[in-house]
Amino acid sequence: MKNTADIVVIGGGPAGMATALEASKNGASVLLLEADTLLGGNAARSTGYLAFQGFEMQHREGLDDNAEIFFKDMVNEIKRQEETYGIEFDAELAKVFAKESATTYDWLVELGFEFNRFLPRPLQHSVNRMVDVTDTSMFTKVFSDVLKKNDVDVRTSTRARRLLLEESQIVGVQTDNGSFRANMGVVLAAGGYQANSSLRKKYQPEHMATTPYLGTHHDVGDGHIMGQEVGGELINMTMIPPLIMVGSALVEDSIAVNTLGRRFHDEAGPYDYRVKELNKQPNKTAHYIYDNQTYLKKRQLIDEMPQTPSSANSLTELAQIIESDYKALKETVTQWNDFLTSSEEKDPDFGRVILPAERRAIIEPPYFASKMITGINFPAGGFRVNADLQVLNVYGEPIPKLFAVGDCSGGLGPVIGMGGMRITPALTLGRVVGRKIATQKFECSPNSERLDEYIPSNTMKVPVIDD
């Protein structure tokens, strides 16, 4: 087996797979290295929420959307998050993503992906554009097949350790299974760093650094560490948003109740909002309530939650187990079921608009309760890149032949709270960088524009210390 290719891609999640496929289709030979035993990354284990603009599903519904509207929604999300975090938002990269997102939808459909329905998030997306994939396992099945058909050399169970540097440019990567050489470039698409508590301690309070996380145990920041060693500048690393550890697809079929047996928020609202509302409840305790049909359908998501759910054949028994008011719990579930059988589109109590498919009620015993536990979302931090996805150093200069995409790039990460904004940018910008490297059509100037930000002025006044 050859250990040299035009392009070496580190990571077999959506970003890496999209990069590899697009590069191969544009004539480059590609080696794809994945630490796990299967491709797909977090996308294969996710709820499958994606967001596009100007795509066929919107056209069918007569929805007016475009790249400019999408970009404005991203800017509004950044303004909201800036109240909590120091953010460096890459507007140029956001515009590239917004423009290209519609073609990503068409590309996925051509590959065989199907989408269920729109999932409204009016506070984040001013137009309905977030949809869910019918079967997220297709991120493994479809891409494994299509990458093979397009001659991408996939090496699973191969963890990258260090980048190879010769004459100030990246020439390959050292892995647990030997070295791999790259003639045209190495792409960091190795995922996030949420599974690395030691790394998280550098960017968040220690009591949060060991909390549960979304993602696989391979998300230990390998790409971040390797790129940092050769001079890449990391941005937005302190934005590690808290969230309630639950798959959004499970939320669709659930309601959350506190120890008083009452709902207290929009269960499908913004991630940070859910955390704040939980913290307001008695003893900061609440549970998601759902029925047997949901349990059987969403078993994979439930098994990935931090605690095993409680169950009982009646709501009265369930309330006793979770130490909640049983009369109030029964009333709350009845009220929710009555709302679902009505013609109202918005929950009258908390404005919830993401509802169960076909508005299915919580009616089939046994009933289940999963405790609401605070953990973290995918971190926003990654490398500063230019519009060609080249990794930049602290002076804004590209590191020759090194690129980053997906969770390894940081400029678009802070829009994660919108929903559908992790997998879609990874796929979209992965296609962009794969095409650019393979065709060598780069648009950005290699000249630095940021030297003055870091080199102290000779006119700086030094205070005199009088002993």
The pLDDT tens digits for 155-166 are 999 999 999 999
Task: Answer yes or no: is pLDDT of 320 > 50.
Answer: yes
Task: Answer yes or no: is pLDDT of 453 > 70.
Answer: no
Mean pLDDT taken over the chain: 93
Distance CA 288, CA 309 (A): 9
Q: Is 115 helix (H, G, I), strand (E, B) or coil?
A: strand
Among 408, 393, 419, 440, smallest CA distance to 125 is for: 419
Q: How is residue 180 written in tokens?
A: 């791999």
CA 67 to chain centre: 20
Calculate mean pLDDT across residues 336-348: 96
Calculate mean pLDDT across residues 80-109: 96
| Confidence (pLDDT) at 447 | 54
Distance CA 257, CA 251 (A): 12
- Band (pLDDT 50/70/90 cuts) for residue 356 is very high
What structural domains does the chain harbor? 4-240+379-439 (3.50.50.60), 243-376 (3.90.700.10)
Angle at 332 between CA 328 and CA 334, to 5 degrees: 120
Distance CA 141, CA 147 (A): 10
| Confidence (pLDDT) at 346 | 95
Q: Point out the least confidently predicted range of 18-22, 41-45, 184-188.
A: 41-45
User: Residues near 391 by Cβ (< 8 Å), separated by ≥ 6?
Assistant: 188, 227, 232, 383, 384, 385, 398, 399, 402, 403, 404
In tens, the pLDDT along 116-143 reads 999 999 989 999 999 999 999 999 999 9
Q: How is residue 295 written in tokens?
A: 């349990």
